[in-house]
Every structure is written in C-alpha cells, then in structure tokens.
Structure 1
Amino acid sequence: MTNESKDRSLLLVDGMALLFRAFFATSVSGQFMINSKGIPTNGVHGFVKHFLTAISTFKPSHVAVCWDMGSKTFRNEMFTEYKANRSDAPVELIPQFDLVKEVVSAFDIPNIGLEGYEADDCIGTIAKASMNDFEVSILTGDRDILQLLDERIKVILLQKGFGNYAVHTPDSFYTDKGILPRQIIDVKALMGDPSDNYPGVKGIGEKTALKLVQQFEHVEGIISNLQLLTKAQKTKIEQDLDMLYLSRKLAEIKCDVPISFSHEESVFQFNQEKVLTKFKEVEFRGLDRLLPDQQILA
C-alpha cells in the first residue's frame, strides 16, 4: 500500500436508501415540496441534505452514487417471490428517480447502476475492487450491506435526523454480533428476510440462526453437523434444505458485477456555479449553505 492510497478515500452512496429515507421522512406529513413545474422534490431535497452532510463529515476524495435499475433482478429469476411484497412507489416519488440523478450529475460524479442487479451488487463490486487503493466507506441505511465490511471497507449507517451515523468496522461488528461480517449471509440463509420476502428455514429466527452460525461457522458446517443439533432444529433444516441454500444465494451481495467504473471520474471536485444553477432550476432553497467552502481534491 502506498502513502498516496492512505490519503485517498472513496465514498459509495446507496442512492435509493437515501432517497427513500428522505422521501418518507417528509411525505408522512404531506410535505412533498411541489415546485412551480408541478414536480415533487422532497425526496431529492432530503437526499442532497444527507449527501452534503456526509461529505462535510467524512471528507472523501472520491464519490460515486449507486442505484437500483428497475424492480427485477437476477434474484427474481432464482425466486419469483423475491421482494414481491413491496408495494409500488408512491406517485409523488416516481418523477424524483430521474431528478435525483440529474442533481448528482451536476456535482460531476457518476451515477452507477446496471439492469438486472441491485445497487448493493454495484457497491460491493466497486468496494472490493477499490479497497487496495482507497479507504472505502459505504453510506446507506441498509444493514444488509454490513456483510461487505473489511479492513479497508467501513459502513456508515444513517441514523435518525441528519448528520447522525453509526460507523461500523469488522471489529465493531464482531463485538456487537459475535460473528464475522460475511457470516451475515449464513444467518440470513437460516432466518430469511421478511423485507426481501424470502423465508429461510421455517421456524428458525435470528437468535437461533446466530447461535448456529457462531457454533458451526457457516451453512455447510451446520449441514455437516446435523446430528449435534436438537431434534427440532434438525427436522426444520432437513425439511427446508433447498430453501436454505436458495436463501443463502439471495442474501449474498454479488461482488463481480460487469459494471464500468472510473476512479478518475469519481474525484469529488465540483463546479459550484453549475450546482447552484441546478438548485435554482429545481427550486431548492437553503441547500447552498451546505456546499463545501472549497472543493476537495484527490
């Protein structure tokens, strides 16, 4: 590792996590911030506020924002019920999907996404490919991304409000959960994930899943030692073996997605006039004071 790489930090932003969080924080009280063109902007406004607050807090030299590209991914091909419990996006949010990417582009940083994959997969791919040359941070509200934690990858989880974060490292995660970050995948294989709508092993919850993974390390270790489990645990796993293996595949973030990404294009060095012009066009007020006083150079 060179001295130069120590000074280079890459912030990967989970765009959908920030946008949805911002939208629902204000839409619950009907504050959609509809501008003179009739376009709601509450989600984008909150996204920018989260984004700029994180920039000023963590001061990355490079930034990229990753997005889901449609609702269907390779996981739906493996399991048709994957995320089938999700309701359609509210009508006020739909025009903000394109608008938020326009605002990100005004900062001259890349919007990244690939049809058939989730933002998490793009984030995982870039993070793993960049960790030898950069200190990588992932900004999200989604705990699933904690499986990507590594010595050079930390996860910044948004907390309530703006500027409140829980910053996770492999050590802090182990202290908290008693497992390694990668073992999240095995825990979710057992317990499933109601928010993503896959069941895991019927009748096994988080407490039992954690205990089994702590004891046997991974799904394969559990299967190899079924005779050591309680009769009830053994029966449940044997009856749901196919779903156990499938759930593990669904839970794992892919880190080899065929995306093109340039570190040069992700240098955080924006043109203030260009950004302010975009803010004026969208009719944002009060966000200009959050812009960094000077551009952060690589």
Structure 2
Amino acid sequence: MEFNNRPSLMIVDGMALLFRAFYATSVSGQFMYNSDGVPTNAVNGFVKHFFTAVANFKPSHVAVCWDMGSKTFRNELFPAYKANRGEAPEELIPQFDLVKEVVASFDVPNIGLAGYEADDCIGTIAVHAAKNETDVSILTGDQDILQLIDDRISVVLLKKGFGNYVVHNQESFFEEKGIMPKQMIDLKAFMGDSSDNYPGVKGIGEKTAIKLLQQFEHVDGVVANLEQLTKAQKAKIEADLEMLYLSRKLAEIKTDVPIEYDLNQAMFQFNKEKALDKFAQVGMRGLERFIDIEKAWA
C-alpha cells in the first residue's frame, strides 16, 4: 500500500456504524446468527462500512472509537441526559464485544474511556492529530461531529447504503448552514437536542438561532445584547438562561480527554489472512470481497 508523504488519519465512530448496520437488517429480522447462537448482523454491516470507507478514502492510519458504558460526565451535569433512550436490543448487546474483537484482528486500535462518549475520544484524537499536521477524516452518521471540522479535520457522513457519503469541510459546512462549524455548539445550546434529551431554550428553533449567531457570534454575544432582540426572544432566553448555558456544556464535544493514544499504533497495516481467520472463528461469512484492500488500493 502506498500513501502520500503526509499521514492521513481516519477516525471511525464505531457506535454510529454499528447501530446503523444493526437497524438496517434487524427491521426485517436478519440477525445472522453464528453457530454459537450469537447474532452477527451489526458486526457484519460494520465490517462492510469500515472497508468500503477505507477503500474509498485510503487513509494511512485508522482508529475506531467507542462508548464505554451508558453513564458519562454529562449525566452528572444533567441526570436526564439521554434518559429517553431505551436499553439496547438484546440481539445487539453481545455484538458490542464481538465487533471490538473483529476490529482488533485488523490491527486497528479500539479506543474508549469510561465517563466519556466516543465523540469526546474522537474530538481529542482529531484535534491532537491535526495540530501535528495530520489530515483527519471522521467517519460517522452523527451530525454532532460536524462541530469538530477545522482546517485539517473533515467529516465523512454516511448516507443510505454502502459507499455513499457527504464529505464536509469548513467551506461546505458554511455554505450549507451559514455559520462556522464551532458555532454548532451554540446552535445546539439554543435549539436543544431531542435525541439527547436536553431542551435548550424553549421556543428558539434552528432558523432563529442561526440568525442570532450570525449577528452575535456565540451564546455570550447574544446574552450580552439581549436589549437588541425582540421582546419575545429576550423573554424566552431570560426564562431559560441557565438551561442555555447547561445545554452548551452538554453539546460541546470535549477535546482534552485523558486517553492514551499513539498515532504510530494506528498505522494501517492490514493482514487479510488474520482477518479471514477471525471471521471463520466467529462464524462470519461473505466478507472476502469487502476486505480485498490491495485491489482497492491499486
């Protein structure tokens, strides 16, 4: 495999890929049990997404980040954070460990830290790598990750099917949203996030929030200029001021998580036979063409 002189790191949002793969097939009951009775549908789909992206973007380095339990520092800040989410489906639960075993067989590091979300590990690694002149792409289906876009950090959003992506950099993000990527944190502070179960400011939606951020740049700028807002906007923000600032803390991806990480360990040195042995061991079939990396690199 040949790479450009400058390293390029692909950080894979393991949770996003695994959940996407699970729900794509579980709807029709295609759980693909192995001989031990363990479902493999999510891991199977994860592998397809993973290698399709690696073949498309040809990174020199790859790492995968995971949540390490359901409770994080955000639950301490706001106990209702993500409280609207049910337990993971029983067919998915054994696949959390299985997928990490499979990733390890690719000689790709699995990274996660209790008390933090995968997003925080992704943010920490991305910012550190970018500072060291590494080009970073983040593979995910999660729009929250867009706040990390920077000069050297792009986000590859998965679309329906395999190999369909929207790649965002600073220019494309600004063109679409009218604000800079970092302002997404302030946008979510106003809007809240129903999927993560925090409210933001009641009655302030995306359109209004974007206008306020275009005019005043960030939450502090808006709050410092409340007298310039309409009476209704001022009243809504004043009524939910505490929640506005709390929502901003919940929305911001941390980039200083104390994880142990070495870029050299993420160099992509894939051994096809080792992966095939692992697939055979865990009873996963039909993946050979997806892992034919040498052909994809040619």
Please tell me the TM-score bracket, short chain as reference. Answer: over 0.9
Task: Give the Cα–Cα distance (whole angstroms) in 1 for the partners of residues 191 and 269 of structure 2.
Answer: 44
Task: Give the Cα–Cα distance (whole angstroms) in 2 for the partners of residues 216 and 8 of structure 1.
Answer: 37
1:227 matched to 2:250? no
Kindly indicate whether the alpha-carbon contact (under 8 Å) linking 2:202 and 2:236 is maintained by their aligned counterparts in 1. Answer: yes
Partner of 1:258: 258
Partner of 1:204: 204
Q: How does 1:152-167 map to 2 (within 5 A)?
A: 152-167=152-167
Q: How far off its partner does 1:91 sit?
A: 0.2
Query: Which amino acid in structure 2 is aligned with residue 285 of structure 1?
Result: R
Query: Which amino acid in structure 1 is aligned with residue 136 of structure 2?
Result: V
Bigger mean CA offset, 12-21 vs 259-268: 259-268
Q: How many residues align?
A: 294
Partner of 1:85: 84
Q: How far off its partner does 1:69 sit?
A: 0.5
Deviation string, structure 1 residues 33-91 (Cα, Å, up to 9, x no partner): 01111000000000000000000000000000000000000000000000000110000
Task: Give the Cα–Cα distance (whole angstroms) in 1 for the partners of residues 187 and 5 of structure 2.
Answer: 33
Task: Give the Cα–Cα distance (whole angstroms) in 2 for the partners of residues 73 and 5 of structure 1.
Answer: 38
TM-score (norm 1): 0.96
Task: Give the Cα–Cα distance (whole angstroms) in 1 for the partners of residues 71 and 193 of structure 2.
Answer: 18
Query: Which amino acid in structure 2 is aligned with residue 99 of structure 1?
Result: L
Residue aligned with 2:9, SS: strand
Partner of 2:36: 37
Q: How does 1:111-150 map to 2 (within 5 A)?
A: 111-131=110-130, 132-150=132-150
Partner of 2:182: 182
Please, which runs of 5 or more residues in structure 2 have no aligned partner? none
1:27 matched to 2:26? yes
Partner of 2:67: 68
Residue aligned with 2:33, SS: coil
Identity of aligned residues (%): 70
Task: Give the Cα–Cα distance (whole angstroms) in 1 for the partners of residues 192 and 265 of structure 2.
Answer: 38
Task: Give the Cα–Cα distance (whole angstroms) in 1 for the partners of residues 170 and 274 of structure 2.
Answer: 39
Q: How far off its partner does 1:296 sit?
A: 10
Task: Give the Cα–Cα distance (whole angstroms) in 1 for the partners of residues 213 and 263 of structure 2.
Answer: 37
Task: Give the Cα–Cα distance (whole angstroms) in 2 for the partners of residues 133 and 45 of structure 1.
Answer: 34
Kindly indicate whether the alpha-carbon contact (under 8 Å) linking 1:103 and 1:278 is maintained by their aligned counterparts in 2. Answer: yes
Partner of 2:286: 286
Task: Give the Cα–Cα distance (whole angstroms) in 1 for the partners of residues 108 and 265 of structure 2.
Answer: 6
Task: Give the Cα–Cα distance (whole angstroms) in 1 for the partners of residues 193 and 105 of structure 2.
Answer: 36
Query: Which amino acid in structure 1 is aligned with residue 263 of structure 2?
Result: H
Q: How far off its partner does 1:284 sit?
A: 1.8
Q: How far off its partner does 1:257 sit?
A: 0.2
Task: Give the Cα–Cα distance (whole angstroms) in 1 for the partners of residues 133 and 125 of structure 2.
Answer: 12
Kindly indicate whether the alpha-carbon contact (under 8 Å) linking 1:5 and 1:133 is maintained by their aligned counterparts in 2. Answer: no
Partner of 2:236: 236
Q: How far off its partner does 1:6 sit?
A: 5.2
Q: 1:190 to 1:252 in 2, by over 3 A?
A: same
Kindly indicate whether the alpha-carbon contact (under 8 Å) linking 2:55 and 2:293 is maintained by their aligned counterparts in 1. Answer: no
Query: Which amino acid in structure 2 is aligned with residue 37 of structure 1?
Result: D
Q: 1:295 to 1:126 in 2, by over 3 A?
A: farther
Residue aligned with 2:182, SS: helix
State the Cα RMSD in Å. 1.4
Task: Give the Cα–Cα distance (whole angstroms) in 1 for the partners of residues 80 and 295 of structure 2.
Answer: 45
TM-score (norm 2): 0.96
Q: How far off its partner does 1:295 sit?
A: 9.6
Task: Give the Cα–Cα distance (whole angstroms) in 1 for the partners of residues 22 and 86 of structure 2.
Answer: 15
Kindly indicate whether the alpha-carbon contact (under 8 Å) linking 1:6 and 1:134 is maintained by their aligned counterparts in 2. Answer: no
Kindly indicate whether the alpha-carbon contact (under 8 Å) linking 1:67 and 1:112 is maintained by their aligned counterparts in 2. Answer: yes
Partner of 2:269: 269
Q: How far off its partner does 1:294 sit?
A: 3.0
Residue aligned with 1:51, SS: helix
Task: Give the Cα–Cα distance (whole angstroms) in 1 for the partners of residues 292 and 8 of structure 2.
Answer: 17
Task: Give the Cα–Cα distance (whole angstroms) in 2 for the partners of residues 181 and 211 of structure 1.
Answer: 15
Query: Which amino acid in structure 2 is aligned with residue 180 of structure 1?
Result: M
Task: Give the Cα–Cα distance (whole angstroms) in 2 for the partners of residues 124 and 139 of structure 1.
Answer: 12
Please, which runs of 5 or more residues in structure 1 have no aligned partner? none
Query: Which amino acid in structure 1 is aligned with residue 95 of structure 2?
Result: Q
